[in-house]
Amino acid sequence: MVKKNTCVFISGQGTNLKNLISCSRENNFPIKISLVIYNNRKANGVLYAKKFNIPYVFINTNIKNYENKVLLNLKKYNISFICLAGFMKIISNKLIKNYPNKIINIHPSLLPKFKGLNTFSRMIANNEKKAGCTVHYVNKKLDGGNRILQKIFFINSNDNESILKKKTQKLEHRAFPEAIIKVFRNI
């Protein structure tokens, strides 16, 4: 199996990155993580890239035309697929045009509900009975791309934001690899 060179974009702790690195080391997993891009200097997730000798690049996404630097690095590492794993920046149309149907994101809600930020507090305020995560293709609409996969759990009456986050991350670690396998099975 020829693995697809993949870049993971992160902004935080990198738990999904760590999980994807682990999965990518399996022979039958369709991607090889060849680059990590991060946009937050305090993103501890970059430590996983360092630990596993994966090239990583900090890109300030608050500057004009930052996409050019992103695209140069993606080209340099021959990247053909992108995973957004807690990347806290809306992907520009320029990147989407250069990687059509090649960018996926994991979101901590059952889309189309609770797009954007503060999903757990909004779930609690809305008295939701179910929560989970969604892996979807990235398009021009925030959290609006076609769904690849969803994982669901039931919310207990004593669940708070912290508990919902932990339960969701546990599901994300199953959902993201499954979605990647599904994407490449359908190509």
Q: Which residues are tagged catalytic?
A: 107
Cα–Cα distance for residue pair 146/167, rounded to 1 Å: 24
With beta carbons less than 8 A apart as the criterion, state whether 148 and 122 touch.
Answer: no
Break the chain down into helix, strand, coil percent, rounded to 5: 35, 25, 40
Signed CA dihedral, 82, 87, 90, 94: sign only? negative
Structure tokens at 42: 């305090």
